[in-house]
Structure 1
Amino acid sequence: MDNNFSLKGKVIIVTGGTGILGNSFVNGIVEAGGAVGILGRNRQIAEERADAINKNGGQAIALVADVLNEAELQAAKQALLNRFGRLDGLVNGAGGNMPQGVLQPDEDIFAMNLDGMKKVMEVNLWGTLLPTQVFGEAIAKTGRGSIVNISSMNSKRAITKVLGYNMGKAAVDCYNQWFAVELANRYGDAIRMNALAPGFFLTEQNRNLLTTPDGGYTQRGELAIRQTPFKRFGNPDELIGALVWLLSDASAFVTGSMLCVDGGFSIFGGV
């Protein structure tokens, strides 16, 4: 029996591949048999991760690019095609928040940093859309493929402080559905687009917001745990199963979906 969950023979590129969640995405793809392009702005980390995979018998290439820079993305695409000759999938893992996109409770809501909010929204939305334009073209030439966007609990519920991030991920959800339909109109079931929506996972960007230096929870961290029925944060490796499923032929009839991996956060009413 064929293993439809296998990524053997497939080449997948992961933007944000030098981050914490990106590292799990990359390793999960390799463990499922796929070759991977590790794309990020940090050359050292990308090369270290690619070298470790190649030394252990996998196939990986380090790609350095900013997801908002089309010329850099085009160069990365060419480097990947020169190495592997094809592209079967894309994980739009780049995104996140930044300090200028945070509104603290004691700050004036009518004097918020709109430029900061706009910048955060841009990196999450356009940092998903632009790589899809560049790498999706290569997937179309391959003939079959899967694109996975990264949504968030912030796209469906009002999470305080991070308006730019909320708006960016909500826009990603809209794009995810719209583009999935347009892909189907043009390519039938050959090219699919779906999204993963993680709950609260500790990353370098949110660690100080959710945890204290001694390993405890901040007030915000306690609120997140209280709203999560599993009463813990997610482990990045717990995203791998859902990601591999969406990239593999096992999800061949799935497009435009958003899969929550959140410990129940999205369904819990708080009582």
Structure 2
Amino acid sequence: MNDSFSLREKVIVVTGGTGILGDSFVNGIVAAGGAVGILGRNAEVAHARADAITRQGGRAVALVADVLQEAELVAARELLLSTFGRIDGLVNGAGGNAPDGVLDPAEDVFKLNIAGMQRVMNLNLWGTIIPTQVFGPALAASGKGSIVNISSMNSKRAITKVLGYNMGKAAVDCYTQWFAVEMANRYGDKLRMNALAPGFFLTEQNRSLLTTPEGGFTPRGELVIRQTPFKRFGQPDELQGALVWLLSDASQFVTGSMVCVDGGFSIFGGV
């Protein structure tokens, strides 16, 4: 492999590192030679994953923090810096949906759960912005840093029911483009920001919405498969190649972009 695709000597922090997709992000970074800070609220999972990587000869540290709590993120940043001495990349993997950010078809469209929608938007948007504010200066100090936000198919297309999540991810896309330009204006090509847009991957949050206990598809899952030319859900490790590319020097002229890893969902017109 060309060395420009390597993450050797790079230190990457992954928020949402205790989730299913976060685990794939962490493993992809370690496989590419990077050291990783596994950041999440679940201390037990964070430490277990970091310990497993260390036992296998990799470099990892558990960072227990909530992405909406700046003080916790500052403490995590200082622990990462004291452990590895630098930070070269940030993956804003924390996010997701919640029941109070959903509008079911039978509900009145003019009686939205505003507080619930705001909570989901806050997690996805401010849960991306606040870690960038906290870890960004360390990336700038490293001399060459890459930030990867996690977008979604929901950001560009209307996906029924999950309004709060749709709005949050659309805002993440706007932020990605805007902030990429601002960093370029201030740091030239030394700091980059892009977004990775997964298609439909099974996680603990959506498994019961898309699949049945017997392993089949729910009606909603059937609609997703019908709209996906590959006719299947994605596997978490299929996100690793695009993520490593965006974090590596191989993508050093790429900023403000959204890379879709979606089995063709975003381009298919349904006919």
Per the normalisation by structure 1, the TM-score is 0.99
**1:45 aligned partner:** 45
Q: CA RMSD in A?
A: 0.8
Partners of 1:108 and 1:226 in 2: how far apart? 28
Partners of 1:213 and 1:114 in 2: how far apart? 32
Partners of 1:118 and 1:209 in 2: how far apart? 22
Deviation per CA, 1:94-119: give whole Å up to 9, x if none: 00001111111111111121110110
Shifted more, 110-119 versus 234-243: the winner is: 110-119
Q: 1:1-271 counterparts in 2 under 5 A? A: 3-271=3-271
- 2:40 counterpart letter in structure 1: G
Partners of 2:2 and 2:232 in 1: how far apart? 36
Q: 1:2 Cα shift?
A: 5.4
Deviation per CA, 1:32-72: give whole Å up to 9, x if none: 00000000000000000000000000000000000000000
Partners of 1:209 and 1:137 in 2: how far apart? 39
Q: 1:132 Cα shift?
A: 0.2
Deviation per CA, 1:93-146: give whole Å up to 9, x if none: 000001111111111111121110110011000000000000011111112110
Deviation per CA, 1:229-249: give whole Å up to 9, x if none: 000000000000000000000
Partners of 1:238 and 1:142 in 2: how far apart? 29
Partners of 1:159 and 1:268 in 2: how far apart? 14
Partners of 2:46 and 2:10 in 1: how far apart? 20
Partners of 2:194 and 2:9 in 1: how far apart? 21
Partners of 2:117 and 2:212 in 1: how far apart? 25
User: Partner of 1:189: helix, strand, or coil?
Assistant: helix
Partners of 2:130 and 2:2 in 1: how far apart? 34
- 2:246 counterpart letter in structure 1: L
Q: Structure 1 stretches (4+) deviating beyond 3 angstroms?
A: none
Partners of 2:122 and 2:23 in 1: how far apart? 23
User: Partner of 1:58: helix, strand, or coil?
Assistant: coil
- 1:95 counterpart letter in structure 2: G
Per the normalisation by structure 2, the TM-score is 0.99
Deviation per CA, 1:156-201: give whole Å up to 9, x if none: 0000000000000000000000000001001100110000000000
User: Partner of 2:53: helix, strand, or coil?
Assistant: helix
- 1:212 counterpart letter in structure 2: T
Number of residue pairs the alignment of both structures matches: 271
Partners of 2:123 and 2:149 in 1: how far apart? 13
Partners of 1:36 and 1:186 in 2: how far apart? 27
User: Partner of 2:38: helix, strand, or coil?
Assistant: strand
- 1:260 counterpart letter in structure 2: C
Partners of 1:265 and 1:146 in 2: how far apart? 26
Partners of 1:212 and 1:125 in 2: how far apart? 31
- 2:141 counterpart letter in structure 1: K
Structure 1 spans left out of the alignment, 5+ residues: none
Partners of 1:209 and 1:116 in 2: how far apart? 19
Partners of 1:233 and 1:110 in 2: how far apart? 33
Structure 2 spans left out of the alignment, 5+ residues: none
Deviation per CA, 1:213-262: give whole Å up to 9, x if none: 11111110000000000000000000000000000000010000000000
Identity across the alignment (%):
78
Partners of 1:93 and 1:21 in 2: how far apart? 8
